[in-house]
């Protein structure tokens, strides 16, 4: 059941990239608001739900694996430094050009100029690593219970659509191929599913390692929310991102209370 839900969630990136080749780029401030809200939601899930579950059910000795999970995602994404978030690419936007000059004249992380085929394929590689750990975090979240897994699933799904949209927009401008750009989100969807299957396979092969999945998932969510998404929501989009992050955290807490009161926790 959990694997099926993860597979459905992963399709959000494919939907985003397909939409990107047919419509004009979305306003970066709106995407940044969405990223900030989802980041707050994911961080609340890690600190208010997953980590307490680790301490109460698996034991305090597993808590250091939260840090291990964070470092694993950081190390993996460091191998593909050209990373992309929706507010980092907007076609024909003067403000974006000014921001790129302020960052040293480079259009994406890792020093690759935005807009060319190299930037598109580097972003595809980096985002595939990110999507893999999305799948790891999602399957680990379901280890804390159905309520935790479903709430994290919703937040990650909301994150995946704008990322897929951004990748499709970059491919439309850089790869000069509408078909390639449109279906690039499918690569991210497959990477998410592979991450989920990896967790499932490891859990079946090493039953004693199962308690470690939850802290690793918490560390992955902390990286995705705090190190990836919150910084990506800052920049030229105003000063309201902290408010949206707080609202996202509050939304998670209220949603958690709701699903638990309904007997799903």
Give 249-258 pLDDT, tens digit per residue.
999 889 888 8
Q: Which of 7, 9, 3 is nearest to 151 (CA)?
A: 9
Q: What confidence tens digit (pLDDT) does each residue in 219-258 have? A: 988 998 888 888 777 655 556 778 889 998 999 889 888 8
Collapsed DSSP state (helix, strand, coil) of residue 265 = coil
The model carries a pTM of 0.72
Residue 147: both structure tokens together: 């309520």
Task: Identify the pLDDT of residue 112.
Answer: 35
Query: CA dihedral defined by 202, 205, 206, 211, rounded to 10 degrees?
Result: 40
Tell me the domain boundaries of the chain. Answer: 2-23+34-261
d(CA 199, CA 6): 12
Tell me which of 89 and 147 has the higher pLDDT: 147
Residue 209, CA atoms < 13 Å, CB-side half-sphere = 12
pLDDT digits (tens, 9 = 90+) for 150-167: 888 888 887 787 777 777
Tell me: the pLDDT tens digits for 29-82?
A: 777 787 788 889 889 989 998 899 888 877 888 899 999 999 988 888 787 655
First to last CA, the chain: 16
Q: Are 87 and 240 in contact (CB under 8 A)?
A: no
The Cα diameter of the chain in Å comes to 55
On average, the pLDDT of the chain sits at 75
């Amino acid at each position: 059941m959990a694997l099926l839900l993860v597979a459905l969630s992963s399709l959000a990136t494919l939907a985003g990239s397909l939409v990107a080749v047919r419509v004009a780029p979305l306003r970066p401030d709106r995407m940044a608001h969405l990223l900030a809200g989802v980041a707050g939601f994911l961080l609340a899930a890690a600190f208010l739900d997953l980590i307490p579950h680790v301490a109460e059910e698996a034991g305090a000795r597993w808590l250091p694996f939260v840090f291990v999970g964070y470092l694993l995602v950081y190390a993996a994404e460091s191998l593909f430094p050209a990373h992309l978030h929706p507010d980092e690419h907007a076609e024909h936007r003067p403000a974006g050009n000014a921001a790129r000059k302020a960052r040293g004249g480079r259009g994406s992380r890792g020093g690759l100029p935005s807009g060319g085929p190299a930037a598109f394929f580097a972003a595809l590689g980096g985002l595939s690593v990110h999507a893999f750990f999305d799948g790891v975090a999602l399957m680990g979240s379901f280890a804390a219970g159905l309520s935790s897994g479903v709430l994290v699933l919703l937040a990650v799904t909301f994150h995946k659509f704008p990322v897929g949209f951004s990748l499709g927009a970059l491919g439309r401008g850089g790869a000069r191929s509408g078909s390639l750009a449109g279906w690039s989100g499918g690569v991210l969807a497959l990477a998410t599913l592979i991450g989920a299957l990896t967790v499932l396979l490891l859990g079946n092969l090493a039953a004693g390692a199962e308690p470690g999945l939850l802290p690793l998932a918490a560390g992955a969510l902390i990286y995705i929310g705090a190190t990836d998404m919150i910084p990506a929501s800052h920049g030229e989009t105003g000063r309201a991102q902290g408010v949206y992050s707080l609202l996202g955290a509050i939304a998670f807490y209220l949603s958690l209370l709701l699903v638990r009161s309904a007997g799903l926790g």
